[in-house]
Amino acid sequence: MPLYLGIDLGTSGCRALALTEAGEIAAQAEHPLPAPEREGARVEQDPALWWRALGAALHALAQHTSLRDVAALAVDGTSGTLLVCNAYGAPLAPALMYNDARSVCEADYIAEVAPPESGAHGRSSALAKLMHLQAGLGPRARYALPPASWLAFKLGARLGVCDEHNCLKLGYDVIARRWPDWLDRLGIRRELLPEVVGPGADIGQVSEQACAEFGFAPGTRIRAGATDSTAAFIATGAHLPGEAVTSLGSTLVMKVLSEHPVFAPRYGVYSHRLGKLWLAGAGSNSGGAVLQHYFSADAMQTLSTLLQPDRPTGLDYYPLLVPGERFPVNDPTLAPRLEPRPADDTQFFQGMLEGMASIEHQAYQRLAGLGAPYPVSIRSVGGGAKNKAWTKIRARLLQAPLLTPSHDEAAYGAALLARDGSTCNKSTST
């Protein structure tokens, strides 16, 4: 019975998940990663740690299922993280992580040159990182790659190939499906830019060395992955226009399938091509991290049983940890609004949840105003999706069916890409 392997490289670890032809999970395993090195705006990590974590996850997975049964695999990873390697795939420096924010001058230059719809805007974009690194790279530098592409190469894929989702923040034009001419005005070395393919495209087969080390069968196919957030979206089962997914994690992220691409950099809104549709979305700075600042996990669990979702508190909160919001309001000075604070912690907790539900509602209204459809249904992922009282609060405001996702792990979505190839998540809509 053939299996399909999805590999997800996240910030905290590497996950591997084996899927049957019928979509059932045969086995899964994970291995943690140490936190990236931080110093001010610098956030870096040694790519060798990714490879070790992947190897450990695969060896752990092999304890539960035979990797020789894997017919194809795909790797997803964090968008915006960038490493530069030589012509043989050896990294020339530590990888700049997605939240490395040193590229201030480079981001300003990009803002002057790049069209507003480009995903390359912002000091943490992969293109800004490449510009920051480029001057000191020297002639040995050959490829600028995201983690997913580099790990796929380490397993045997062609070096220098990247899925178009992970290339968005490197400046790739997802509409014209090519590297744009304005990159030349920035002095970008064209030879550093990867060959771009669609998610699920065939990019090689597992190498003899990887077969020997992990137990794969010769001829095991490697398919292009996606960003971790796109893979997680695919895992939910959403695939029709208007179907949306909200991630209720440390931050709130709202995404909806649209028949047309939507770009609004001032709000951090961009779109990924997904089959015949476009996945449009953006994230708020509000979310679970604010709740964790005020309440422990045990306290939130207890308070959740005391909530009265059918009786709104009337508190008009905009929960933030620090001033500044990106979406659905673009205001770097927006102050947290958490006053007045009731003496009753249950009321305070419910007021915060109501405030976040209001932000989610405003976000989907904003996306609709920019040209995306208002959700016909919403699937919820992340830790907050388990809170039944919060779900009732959200349902009242959103006025859209809240559906249970098929799955919510990025590794599952990557496994679907491995199984279905470039047909994964294609809509029958015209």
- Tell which residue, 145, 199, 198, 141, has the closest CA to residue 170: 145
- pTM, whole model, 2 decimals? 0.90
Which homologous superfamily does the CATH classification assign to the domain defined by 240-405?
ATPase, nucleotide binding domain (3.30.420.40)
Q: Write down the pLDDT at residue 230.
A: 92
Map out the domains of the chain as residue ranges: 3-230+411-423, 240-405
Residue 256: strand pairing partners: 244, 280
> CA torsion sign, 322 to 328 to 333 to 339?
negative
Q: Write down the pLDDT at residue 427.
A: 43
Q: What CATH architecture applies to the domain 3-230+411-423?
A: 2-Layer Sandwich (3.30)
Say which DSSP state 317 is in: -
- pLDDT digit string, tens, across residues 129-186: 999 998 888 889 999 999 999 999 999 999 999 999 999 999 999 999 999 999 999 9
E strand residue ranges, 260-367: 270-274, 277-284
Confidence of residue 426 (pLDDT cuts 50, 70, 90): low
